[in-house]
């Protein structure tokens, strides 16, 4: 193993030990900076020479079957890495900058899928998620910024559905983030002609009970997801919007007719990851207080059932209605008041 292979492996091992979600290799004018994102916070790990940076980026790109010679266009790739018998999928992305390419590596552990009870800060949210996944048709959207745990929630909901009864679940992802036995998983491959459009068309011929679409990115994907929900399937997907109501407006911007949204949309979930604080010892649980299960937890805003119908009528038919549901802001304030989250989490995700 040469120096660059050792360096790259050491970098991955360090990131896995610290439970980092991402590695950032950022070029500067004279050197390059390496950061880890740990619990949503970006931490500077080290500075490396420009020569070491170039060799590292080339090695990772080669390992992920990316074009080493192409540095002017964004690229993406994937590879796998094993740490303490745990398989970790790596998703690589490069973009050009004035100082050469920036590389981000997302670490996606494959061995563990959290139960729905383990995800939310408030237990009642897991009950609502379980009730939602029991539906057998319609569209469910999970929304939030990158790194907010949307995919984790998706997989946990799918596993809960699979455990409740035998179901044929098919996913379409770019790339597959967690290889899971019991699901049929299809990966986007533009070179092979597997686009979101073609993939969804193929899935509909594959007799699915539940379809998971990794992300609604454009109008055609949105239209196919809506059409799949209208033909009697349950469709789960993600979007990038700030809250639940914004997801409905985003569908309208993607040219989805309001009556189609009214007929198919059965639930919208917005989420954020927050750092849990122990209400008993009043300190961050660096050593995991025995009363606290997980240091990072999720806060959810859910637009479901009657309140969802009121919001849709208000938006589509301009009918004023008194809509009251637990928004992210309300959930964050409640969590902070009870001593469950840090002030930093409240200030970071609360309304400005």
For tokens 């038919």, what's the residue?
A: 317
Return the number of other C-beta atoms located less than 10 Å from residue 155's C-beta: 19
Query: How far, in whole angstroms, is CA 261 from its chain's centroid?
Result: 23
| Tokens at 169, concatenated | 């679940």
Of 11, 6, 13, nearest in space to 25 by CA: 11
* 86-97/75-83 β-pairing: antiparallel
How far apart (Å, rounded) are the C-alpha atoms in residues 63 and 309? Answer: 49
Of 323, 317, 288, nearest in space to 305 by CA: 323
How far apart (Å, rounded) are the C-alpha atoms in residues 292 and 278? Answer: 7
Return the number of other C-beta atoms located less than 10 Å from residue 218's C-beta: 11
**Confidence (pLDDT) at 280:** 64
How far apart (Å, rounded) are the C-alpha atoms in residues 250 and 27? Answer: 35
CB 169 within 8 A of CB 210: yes
CB 305 within 8 A of CB 298: no
**Confidence (pLDDT) at 295:** 73
CB 92 within 8 A of CB 74: no
The DSSP symbol for 313 reads H
String of b and e for 7-20 (b: at least 16 CB within 10 Å)? bbeebbeebbeeeb
Instruction: Report the side by side order of strands in the sheet with 31-38.
Output: 41-49, 31-38, 22-27, 100-109, 86-97, 75-83
CB 22 within 8 A of CB 42: no
**Confidence (pLDDT) at 287:** 45
How far apart (Å, rounded) are the C-alpha atoms in residues 70 and 312? Answer: 47
The stretches in the chain having pLDDT less than 70 are 112, 278-294, 320-322, 351-352
CATH topology of domain 116-349: Rossmann fold (3.40.50)
**CA distances, 190 to each of 58, 96, 195, 332 (Å):** 23, 21, 6, 41
Return the number of other C-beta atoms located less than 10 Å from residue 295's C-beta: 17
Is 3-109 assigned to CATH 2.60.40.420? no
Of 23, 87, 86, nearest in space to 56 by CA: 23
**Confidence (pLDDT) at 113:** 77
Rounded to the nearest 10 degrees, how much is the dihedral formed by the CA atoms of 211, 109, 121, 287? 170
CB 175 within 8 A of CB 199: no
Q: What are phi and psi of 109, to 5 degrees?
A: -60, 140
| Domain residue spans of the chain | 3-109, 116-349
| Tokens at 147, concatenated | 């790194």
Return the number of other C-beta atoms located less than 10 Å from residue 105's C-beta: 25
């Amino acid at each position: 193993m040469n120096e660059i292979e050792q360096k790259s492996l050491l970098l991955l091992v360090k990131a896995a030990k610290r439970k980092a979600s991402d590695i950032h290799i950022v070029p500067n004018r004279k050197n390059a900076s390496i950061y880890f994102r740990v619990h949503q916070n970006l931490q500077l790990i080290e500075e490396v020479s420009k020569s070491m940076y170039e060799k590292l980026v080339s090695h990772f790109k080669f390992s992920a079957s990316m074009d080493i010679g192409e540095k002017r266009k964004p690229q993406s790739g994937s590879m796998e890495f094993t740490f303490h018998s745990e398989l970790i999928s790596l998703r690589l992305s490069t973009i050009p900058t004035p100082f050469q390419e920036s590389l981000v590596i997302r670490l996606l552990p494959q061995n563990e899928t959290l139960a729905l009870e383990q995800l939310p800060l408030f237990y009642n949210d897991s009950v609502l998620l379980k009730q939602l996944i029991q539906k057998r048709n319609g569209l469910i959207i999970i929304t939030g910024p990158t790194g907010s745990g949307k995919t984790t929630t998706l997989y946990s909901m799918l596993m809960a559905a699979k455990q409740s009864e035998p179901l044929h679940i098919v996913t379409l992802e770019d790339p597959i983030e967690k290889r899971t036995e019991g699901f049929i998983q299809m990966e986007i491959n533009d070179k092979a002609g597997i686009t979101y459009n073609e993939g969804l068309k193929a899935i509909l011929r594959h007799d699915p009970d539940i379809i998971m679409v990794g992300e609604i990115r454009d109008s055609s994907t949105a239209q196919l997801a809506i059409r799949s929900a209208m033909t009697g399937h349950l469709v789960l997907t993600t979007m990038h919007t700030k809250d639940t109501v914004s997801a409905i407006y985003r569908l309208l911007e993607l040219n989805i007719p309001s009556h189609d949204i009214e007929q198919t949309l059965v639930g919208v979930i917005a989420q954020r990851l927050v750092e849990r604080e122990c209400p008993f010892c009043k300190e961050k649980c660096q050593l995991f207080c025995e009363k606290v299960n997980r240091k990072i937890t999720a806060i959810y805003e859910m637009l479901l059932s009657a309140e969802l119908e009121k919001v849709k009528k208000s938006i589509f038919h301009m009918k004023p209605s008194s809509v009251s549901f637990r928004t992210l802001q309300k959930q964050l304030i409640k969590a902070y008041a009870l001593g469950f989250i840090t002030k930093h989490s409240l200030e970071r995700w609360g309304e400005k």
